[in-house]
A and B are shown apart, each in its own frame.
Chain A
Amino acid sequence: MSTSTLEKPPSSAPAKQKVILVEGNEAAALGVALARPDMVAVYPITPQSSLVEHVAKLIADGKMDADIVDAEGEHSVLSVLQGGALAGARTYTATCGPGLAFMFEPYFRTSGMRLPIVMSIVTRDGITPQSVWGGHQDAMTVREVGWVQVYCETVQEVLDTTIMAFKIAEHHDVMLPVNVCLDGNYLSYGTSRVELPDQAEVDAFMGDKNVNWHVALDPLRPMAVDPLTGGSSGKGPSTFVRYRKGQCKGMQNSLRVIEDVHEEWAVRFGRRYAPLVEDYRMEDAEFAIMTLGSMSGAGKDAIDEARDAGKRVGLIKLKTFSPFPVEALIKSLKNIQALGVVDRSVGFRWNCGPMYQETLGALYRLGQATGKMLPAQSFIGGLAGADITTAHFHRVIDATEALLGGATMSTEPVWLNEKD
């Protein structure tokens, strides 16, 4: 784990993997089991509940060797894991929506203490208007707290990414917590054929564990963990700045590590995912739409249909949202002339989708480099469980194409499900 270079991949083809039919929450649980955490803490919340039920059953059936803590709430869930991680445990949990909001205090602290905890967010909309259905509002709301956040598109990707997340989090150049985001309802309950990696091969992939080499609560090497820092001048605030800069460095390092870990995964297990930004039919695209998470499947179908109709349009999907993969995204954006960004959540401050807002920053960098001012439109859809269909994506494609013809960017988002 301590090396930043890839181990030599096996020369033989990946071993045959067992094929099973599972929902996304069970796929996540199976990924957790294969990653062999020492400790999991659980508290149920829709649509995450079946995930932790699967984890509990795997442990109860002796198929997974971990200490399970049935905590009295999400705040304690993450707190227990922090203690475990500081004692050297590999740790895991899952939550969403109100649960994520309730655990915000220890959530903020996990990244500050550089604890490589992995937590699935089975994304959920809300909190008010009340909803128990899917949407990215929960994960987006906490995007500025220093966790690595990756979004999955398929059930297979949920399983594979859950395992990879531990390796990314525990990489000594990263040492940050990781959220594996899977869309509530669409991925949590969506049942799909998946290939189950072999335990011995996952063990070889994971390598050795050392999660508290940098900060520990251990009588054999006593230290004061997280003493007060700061003040109006001198050593205090400069100490604080060093901690913060270290966090930022870890975030930036994670971009390379995410790529390396995905590459090693592809070599060992034969499944290749775009680690940061995926280009779909972008080779000669004049314009593009941008997606996140499970909506990307319908988006790709719509692109195929638009291509058949003669439109030179492609799709850009973000897998890694935090840290924001600016450089990789600029490479995808540099040859197109218009962009439509589809968010599954709301950015209240800018009256647009959060991914759109973040992309505007990347467009500014692109403009600095090329002088090009790329027109881009924000679309918001799929809130509170709503389906984003190919029909919705055709509206996105048409409205984005109109920008090519000189239509002006609206300061208002287009609300895709408003009149469904």
Chain B
Amino acid sequence: MGAFNTIAFDANKCDGCGDCMTACATAKTGTTEISRSRLQIAGNAAEGFELALCRQCGDPKCVTVCPAGALGKDYASGVIDWNGDKCVDCLLCTVGCAYAGIALDEASGRVAKCDMCDGSPACVSACPHDALKLVTTSRIYNEVGDWEDLFAPGLAGCQGCNTELLMRHTLRRVGPDTVLATPPGCVPGMGSVGFNGTTGTKVPVFHPLLTNTAPMLAGVKRHYKRIGREVTALAIAGDGGASDVGFQSLSGAAERNEQILFMVVDNEGYMNTGMQRSSCTPYGAWTSTTPVGQGTGSGGLPSQGKTQDAKNLPLIMVNHRCEYVATASTAYMEDLYDKLDKAIAASKRGFAYLHVYSPCTTGWRFPTDQNMEVARKAVETNFVMLWEYTRAGGLRFTRPVDEPLPVTDYLKAMGRFRHLSEDQISHIQGKVVENLNFVKQMAHRA
């Protein structure tokens, strides 16, 4: 069990049956008295259910307030342990906890709390509705938390941008024996390569041209391979350079199966230079070169945002039969981490391509605290699909969304789509279905 795992509760799936409490009481007290269960479900079907349970906090208040040292966080197991020999029964812990995670067990006259059942909680397996889940997403924190952050603190990204998050996590994972290419765009714009003699990166880093990231990096990798040195060649590039002006060189490097990991941070436009349209910009989106006005836009069509659909760059990369191709989202870090691991391994054999959707709070026009929500809605509506491709396994969905939300749930979260007409919205909804069916067919064939 990871050191910071927890039990998550989905109130929408709970019907209040109480099986979890019975299971807990049985496991911990040998009775079926649900009042003795260490988790408690409160509420009713009309108003919804709530969970009272220890979250095994990283910075637990119960431990802080205990005057007797009876509570302590075990950093190996992650569980907050209660020591009955030390406890003075003052109940301060029950006041300190905001989750009602520790409470008086009247039958024994002492406090009781969840101990995670040695990693396989009885409540989770007892729940017939999947409302309880043992969540291990904190694996990222557990495993990567102590690894060196290879970017300096204080990169100059826009407020609310998650590309910095992506950069830091990626480089921690890849490690110090790396040469990093960050072509012109947001990533060097926030100081990864630096200005006038200062740099934000602790590994060798360079500005390729917007057009030659892949071949320049391939040259670096090839020579280290020739002289017998193991060096990871990593690009963190934008969608514009990769899908437009640098596409030829990207395609060439993929065809030659150069041993590099090419990550595209897709914010659907040239956001660093002022939010201009790229071929990855979706249909209908306002950008500074597809503005909204009374006249006509590209192709003589009404000037109501981009008049063409987005190029699907990751699918094009699949058709290069790369060692590995995947799409990812910063709202699904567990998924992203799995793919990062596979991409790193694949880049030792050949070309690995990772396409990460990264909402742009500045260019897409949404509040700076909404980045994860926008990223999540993109996936929940199937506007963005998360999948991976290998030569052996073909294409498969890694987080299929079987009951997608209407695309308007995604579109309405952003100012760049504010002007859309009903016709434009139905065009986009139609495209979502078309794209989904296309990828599904590829997945079935695999």
Contact residues of A with B, CB < 8 Å? Answer: 38-39, 41, 67, 69-73, 75-76, 79-89, 91, 105-106, 109, 216-219, 221-229, 231, 235-236, 239
Contacts and interface: CB of A to CB of B under 8 A. Distances in A.
B405 interface: no
B231 A219 contact: yes
B249 A225 contact: no
Contacts of A71: 215, 252, 256
Pairs A-B, 8 closest by C-beta atoms: A83-B219, A72-B252, A79-B212, A224-B199, A225-B206, A87-B223, A76-B215, A84-B219
Contacts of B204: 216-219, 221-225
A124 to B, nearest CB: 22
Nearest to B206: A225
Contacts, number: 149
B200 to A, nearest CB: 8
B370 to A, nearest CB: 31
Interface stretch (B87-95, B153-161, B189-197, B330-338): B189-197
B241 to A, nearest CB: 13
Nearest to A81: B219
A402 B199 CA distance: 63
Contact of B195 (A72, A86, A109, A228): A228
A76 B249 contact: yes
B195 A82 contact: no
Bin the interface of chain B by size: 35 or more
Interface in B157-207: 176-179, 188, 193-199, 201-207
A129 B341 CA distance: 53
Q: Majority SS of interface residues in chain A?
A: mixed
A355 B252 CA distance: 38
B367 to A, nearest CB: 30
Interface of B: 176-179, 188, 193-199, 201-209, 211-212, 214-224, 226-227, 231, 248-249, 251-253, 255-256
A69 B218 CA distance: 10
Given A79-B212, A219-B231, A235-B196, A84 B220 contact: yes
B196 A83 contact: no
Contacts of A231: 196
B209 A83 contact: no
B227 A79 contact: no
Given A79-B209, A223-B204, 17 more contacts: A39-B223, A69-B219, A73-B248, A75-B215, A82-B212, A83-B218, A105-B211, A219-B177, A219-B204, A222-B203, A224-B194, A224-B206, A225-B204, A227-B199, A228-B195, A229-B196, A235-B196
B65 to A, nearest CB: 46
Nearest to B203: A222
Nearest to B260: A83
